[in-house]
Amino acid sequence: KTKKFLEDLQILAFYFLCLLVHSTAQFKVVGPDHPVTAIVGEEIVLPCHLSPRMSAEKMEVTWFRSQISPFVHHYSDGKDQYGQQIPEYQGRTELLKDGLTNGSVALRIFSIRLSDEGQYHCLVLDGMFYEEALLELKVAGQYLVSVFLSGMALSDLKGSSTLGGELSCWCDAAGACSLSSGHSASIAGHPRTTS
């Protein structure tokens, strides 16, 4: 009897081990391996997907910052849940549901703010199994710089020109600018932010 009991116990342990291995290898959550960059005032999609690709329609998806609650965005029971959403994100987030059947759990954030910069966790829960990915969002401001020219030669433009009047350009936080003439230039210094 003891021998039979031990054999049954070994078989049971083997099946339990197989079940455990199977349940821990269901999927991985994959995000970009580089920071995602957004511009203040624009919208951005934070990409994230399941690997291997499988439907996430019946899973729970939670996007959060440093703690899981309150969250940036939460999806469960086939719909968005806003009960414990961080107030600063209310009305500004959308889980892209058209990709759920293919394992995409990407999040769109509208009207990007400087305070949106930082780390985001994408957590996907399927029953008792969960995985998460960590993403980094960088936010660049937009600056309007007005340059007043009075017969000054600008060699940064194609060729060498002498211009007079006012020239407007948009610059990002790194100082790369697009001039109203369609050319680009680099401006040193600290441009003033406009809202």
Reading the block at residue 73, the tokens are 């965005």
Q: What's the DSSP call for residue 189?
A: S
pLDDT in tens, 26-42: 899 999 999 999 999 99
Burial string for 102-132 (b: 16+ CB within 10 Å, else e) reads ebbbbbebeebeeebbeebbbbbebeeeebb
**Lowest-pLDDT range of 101-110, 132-141, 149-158:** 149-158
In this prediction, residue 48 has a pLDDT band, given cuts at 50, 70 and 90, of very high
Q: Give the pLDDT mean for 52-68.
A: 95
Residue 138 φ then ψ, to 5°? -105, 135
Q: Which CATH superfamily groups domain 26-140?
A: Immunoglobulins (2.60.40.10)
What confidence score (pLDDT) does residue 194 get?
39
Whether 115 has a pLDDT exceeding 80, the answer reads: yes
What confidence score (pLDDT) does residue 165 get?
44
Q: What is the pTM of this model?
A: 0.64
Q: Give the pLDDT mean for 173-185.
A: 54
Q: Give the pLDDT mean for 36-59.
A: 96
In this prediction, residue 141 has a pLDDT band, given cuts at 50, 70 and 90, of confident
Ranges in the chain annotated CATH 2.60.40.10: 26-140
What confidence score (pLDDT) does residue 22 get?
44
